[in-house]
A and B are shown apart, each in its own frame.
Chain A
Amino acid sequence: MDAGSFKLNFWANGPKPGELYSFPGATGSTIPGCGPVRHTLNPMVTGTSVLGVKFDGGILLAADMLGSYGSLARFRNISRVMKVNDCTVLGASGDYADYQYLKQVIEQMVIDEELLGDGHNYSPKAIYSWLTRVMYNRRSKMNPLWNTVVIGGVYNGESFLGYVDKLGVAYEAPTIATGFGAYLAQPLMREVLEKKATLSKDEAYELLERCMKVLYYRDARSYNRYEIAIVTESGVQIEGPLTSETNWDIAHLVRSGFQ
């Protein structure tokens, strides 16, 4: 068999390695009116960071209540945290419409589960696994749900905190922060957890409050109105709307003029 003349037919007119290849049917080039036109989207109304932290006996999840329309602070009272069932909560950043769709699907799933009446509930890990698969499959079809989701809960005495994003990247960690939170809040959260491996509920709450304050100071698409979801063995509680105490005294130290 001569190596040079051996031709793989299925790769005959394929892309050269490293070359950009446009997938067939990926762009909206299908015949109009013939089935859903899918394309990789642009997010419209978006939510910014979601923070999550584990403590001894449960987890805390925090997200602000802003839906931005580009740089416009359009919807200032939307909830980006949802209760899935008595042991799980879910917070989403990214496109709000995709989150609403996801919320609808999950709520229906939970109802169907209850109707089975077998005494079983979705565990946070189950929702996390399911969502990872959904997100990955959507991205493989070039039609993602443009969200980064944080799933937290307590099941069988064990607390769970996981992250899933629009690419299907998923991981579990004791502290999670999406979006800008990864740059601003994560260093603060990690600093605390490195000194003390397990936090009490009050310590974790105080940590999240500090982080939400810093995010309000430095994230240009944030808002000073947020919700915190607390999940413990005894159930789910979503507190809100809360506000951070901000200190603008340094404004007096900023002088414009001849510098």
Chain B
Amino acid sequence: MATLSVCQVPSSGFSFENCRRNALLEAEFVKQGHKLPVAKKTGTTIVGVVFKKNGIVLGADTRATEGMVVADKNCSKIHYISPNIYCCGAGTAADTEMTTQLISSNLELHSLATGRLPQVATANRMLKQMLFRYQGYIGAALVLGGVDCTGAHLYSIYPHGSSDKLPYVTMGSGSLAAMAVFEDRYKPNMKEKEAKQLVRDAIAAGIFNDLGSGSNIDVCVITKNKLDYICPYDIANKKGVRTARPPGRPFKRSGSYKYKRNTTGVLTETVTPLELEVVEESVQTMDTS
């Protein structure tokens, strides 16, 4: 039921077959005392900005959270859609990954069929229509940006299937912190360098003020003639270096956690070699067929 342009024409109306199956599965699981696995959510800060009428800068942090634990310190949230269109994703990691891959694949087929470079509006339509079809069950909040023959376009797409076409957008748990920076400093027709700095500042605001976002800043610059996928653009959090420093004094490595030998006095030292005897030795060939 999920594929678009490839095989059958989907039947009309919403199909909720899987909902019943899921409810049954859940009931069984709970009866046996297990808990259903929780979707990995990317608490995130993702942003996009249009600069100088014909360019897009997309930015994202790199932390993936599983509840209150950081599951991935350096994941990539800027997904490829087509050579001129990229998409940042917030929400459930699997949903953003698979949705963008699906639309990327369908867009490539579409582009081959039309013989033209794909348009951002097309990607937007495809994403919207799919997300609406699933009534919000696919938890993917996306920032879609790209440059095509009609210019630079930026969209934010919500899990229920609505989208907004704006000059600057933010999504994810850190979106308010990032939006505060945008509302403060966005100007129309910025230069590329300014726009990159603004995006970097917005993601940094999300990283340092939102617990669901963290680690590094990835940036993707799309213009008519070039594409810069800069991962990482800024390593905002380096392991072992504390960012809180007394004002006016330079960065100081706050000390390693390794203690020198003899910090705890050693009274006696006994070395006992473990004598292991070889009981059996066998060779198993690898199945390389």
**A residues near B, CB below 8 A?**
180, 183-188, 190-191, 196-197, 210-211, 213-214, 217-218, 249-250, 253-255, 258-259
Are B163 and A187 neighbours in the complex by a CB distance under 8 Å?
no
**Given A186-B209, A253-B188 in contact, is the A218-B183 Cβ separation under 8 Å?**
yes
**B residues near A, CB below 8 A?**
121, 124-125, 155, 163-168, 176-177, 179-181, 183-184, 188, 201, 204-206, 208-209, 247-248
Least Cβ distance of B147 to chain A in Å? 16
Q: Which one of A214, A249, A255, A258 contacts B188 once the chains associate, using CB atoms below 8 Å? A: A249
Least Cβ distance of A171 to chain B in Å? 16
Residues of A within 8 A of B209 (CB): 183, 186-187, 190
Are A218 and B208 neighbours in the complex by a CB distance under 8 Å?
no
Least Cβ distance of A222 to chain B in Å? 13
Residues of B within 8 A of A184 (CB): 176-177, 179-180
Residues of A within 8 A of B208 (CB): 187, 190
Are A214 and B184 neighbours in the complex by a CB distance under 8 Å?
yes
Q: Which one of B165, B181, B248 contacts A254 once the chains associate, using CB atoms below 8 Å? A: B165
Grouping DSSP codes into helix (H, G, I), strand (E, B) and loop, the B interface class, with mixed when no group exceeds half, is helix
Are B205 and A250 neighbours in the complex by a CB distance under 8 Å?
no
Are B183 and A187 neighbours in the complex by a CB distance under 8 Å?
no
A253 CA to B164 CA in the complex, in Å?
11
Are A213 and B183 neighbours in the complex by a CB distance under 8 Å?
yes
A100 CA to B184 CA in the complex, in Å?
33
Least Cβ distance of B236 to chain A in Å? 12
Are A259 and B188 neighbours in the complex by a CB distance under 8 Å?
no
Are A259 and B184 neighbours in the complex by a CB distance under 8 Å?
no
**Given A183-B177, A218-B179 in contact, is the A188-B167 Cβ separation under 8 Å?**
no
Most chain-A CB neighbours within 10 Å: which of B183, B201, B248? B183
Closest chain B residue to A256, Cβ basis: B165
Are B205 and A191 neighbours in the complex by a CB distance under 8 Å?
yes
Residues of B within 8 A of A190 (CB): 208-209
Q: Which one of B125, B155, B180 contacts A188 once the chains associate, using CB atoms below 8 Å? A: B180
A77 CA to B164 CA in the complex, in Å?
34
Residues of B within 8 A of A187 (CB): 177, 180-181, 205-206, 208-209
Least Cβ distance of B187 to chain A in Å? 9
Closest chain B residue to A185, Cβ basis: B180
A197 CA to B188 CA in the complex, in Å?
31
Closest chain A residue to B176, Cβ basis: A183
Residues of A within 8 A of B180 (CB): 183-185, 187-188, 211, 214, 218
